[in-house]
Amino acid sequence: MNLQLERKICKLISEHNILVFMKGNKLMPMCGFSNTVIQILNRFSIDYHTINVLEDEEIRQGIKIYSKWPTIPQIYINGEFIGGSDILLDLYGTSKLQEILEKAINS
């Protein structure tokens, strides 16, 4: 990955407490996994930001390299990579996601 793209991704992650790199957006997820993430986050009535990777192929491929995670969606909370939809679903099922989100909102 080139340095310019890495800086762009770092900047996006640092600008948003809760960031989702996904296919589509909050109002129109374009895959089932992205939709799962949106449905989970919406249950918490929190502010979060999404990046539609379908609009930027460089980010779509770059985020996979940056995170060392091969799939989309990818969730970052307070600059930390959390994982994809399966990880978020597991965290939600054990109530750990609520703890992570509360820390992010209160920080």
Check the annotation: does 10 bind a ligand. Answer: no
Nearest to 63 by CA among 26, 24, 21, 19: 21
Residue 106 has pLDDT above 90, yes or no: no
Helix, strand or coil, per DSSP, at residue 33: helix
pTM over 0.85: yes
Q: Which pairing describes strands 49-52 and 80-83: parallel, antiparallel, or unpaired?
A: unpaired
Q: End-to-end distance of the chain based on CA atoms, in angstroms?
A: 31
Domains with residue ranges and CATH for the chain:
3-106 (3.40.30.10)
pLDDT digits (tens, 9 = 90+) for 41-55: 999 989 999 999 999
d(CA 27, CA 86): 21
